[in-house]
A and B are shown apart, each in its own frame.
Chain A
């Protein structure tokens, strides 16, 4: 088997196992109370981290870039209670505009 197919097979199997471990082993019943109180905070902490890494993450280290203009526009739109669809479109549009002008 070529290294390409070996990587495809191994990465695929590992990812499927990681994604399904919780749902297959613990699925369909409430988590123990202590675990549940921890997992409840996963959404805000991971979502905040995703905002940071997606906005300023680069191939190497941090980068202040045009995406921050889009994110600022998104923040203003959210503050004005715009729907999510509009927020996402405005962020992409603002970033594209900055790039076209820059």
Chain B
């Protein structure tokens, strides 16, 4: 039974893992053209494992930005993983090192797959989906670094449209409850309002704050 849930996580995320691998290739190409060499981009994908933050940090470096600016942009983009980690925490049992390692498998996609419609989480889905995306991301980066530009731009294949579609599909079951629907509407409105004006990462973090409504019922 245990194993089946891990496999469910792999299966749930498989189509998106293809898209993630495509963007891993793009990241590898970008990092290589930014003069990061071959090893550093792969090490970064294997340790940071957060696509948007990696793209932002490397773009900033490539444009002559400072180390501090690159790190600050990445931290801002990843700040949402703070509250997301808290939401998963009650369901991650075991020793502290084991919780630390499994927490590294948190990315938007694996977290979204592990959310259950009653608001709970299945950590086995999180780890199954997370490991699948992790393998796709690191392998994609390596392919990009070693110059497989021939694979082309993932945008040509429409792979960038796979992400909003996945998040929409996983959002739908959350809308059955009135509080969930209200939080979704506020979250979408905040993101829409802030995206044109705020730094990347801020809209999603601010939308997460919409859940503070929960305190007031």
Number of A residues with CB within 8 Å of any CB on chain B: 75
Mark out the residues of chain A between 33 and 91 whose CB falls within 8 Å of any chain B CB in the assembled complex.
34-57, 61-62, 66-67, 69-71, 74-75, 78, 84-85, 87-91
Annotate B108-126 by CB proximity to A: 1 below 8 A, 0 otherwise: 1000100100010000000
CB neighbours (8 Å) of B161 from chain A are: 66-67, 69-71, 74, 91-92, 94-95
Annotate B133-162 by CB proximity to A: 1 below 8 A, 0 otherwise: 000000000000000000000011111111
Interface centre among B37, B90, B115, B196 (most CB of A within 10 A): B90
Contact partner, A22, options B47, B103, B163, Cβ 8 Å = B103
Annotate B46-73 by CB proximity to A: 1 below 8 A, 0 otherwise: 0111100110010001000001001100
Which secondary structure characterizes the binding site on chain A? helix
CB neighbours (8 Å) of B71 from chain A are: 7, 10-11, 14
CB closest chain-B residue, reference A9: B47
Kindly provide the distance from the CB of A99 to the nearest chain B CB, expressed in whole angstroms. Answer: 6
Q: A24-B103, A49-B190 are in contact. Are A85 and B15 (CB under 8 A)?
A: yes
On whether the beta carbons of A37 and B99 are closer than 8 Å, the reply is: no
On whether the beta carbons of A21 and B168 are closer than 8 Å, the reply is: no
Across the A-B interface, how many residue pairs have beta carbons closer than 8 Å?
Answer: 307
Which secondary structure characterizes the binding site on chain B? helix
Q: A7-B57, A22-B88 are in contact. Are A12 and B47 (CB under 8 A)?
A: yes
CB closest chain-B residue, reference A20: B103
Q: A15-B74, A41-B180, A78-B168 are in contact. Are A8 and B49 (CB under 8 A)?
A: no
Contact partner, B160, options A16, A23, A62, A95, Cβ 8 Å = A95
CB closest chain-A residue, reference B16: A88
CB neighbours (8 Å) of A3 from chain B are: 61, 67
Kindly provide the distance from the CB of B213 to the nearest chain A CB, expressed in whole angstroms. Answer: 7
Provide a sorted-by-A list of 28 A–B residue pairs whose CB atoms are within 8 angstroms.
Answer: A14-B74, A20-B100, A20-B104, A21-B86, A24-B96, A24-B99, A27-B93, A39-B83, A40-B179, A45-B211, A47-B170, A47-B187, A49-B203, A49-B207, A52-B191, A52-B192, A52-B203, A53-B191, A69-B161, A70-B162, A74-B165, A84-B166, A87-B168, A91-B161, A92-B159, A95-B160, A97-B158, A99-B156
Contact partner, A44, options B93, B162, B184, Cβ 8 Å = B184
User: How far is it, in angstroms, between the C-alpha of A93 and the C-alpha of B186 when the chains are bound?
Assistant: 30
On whether the beta carbons of B48 and A42 are closer than 8 Å, the reply is: no
Q: A22-B88, A23-B99 are in contact. Are A49 and B208 (CB under 8 A)?
A: yes
Q: Does A18 contact B (CB under 8 A)?
A: yes
User: How far is it, in angstroms, between the C-alpha of A6 and the C-alpha of B6 when the chains are bound?
Assistant: 35
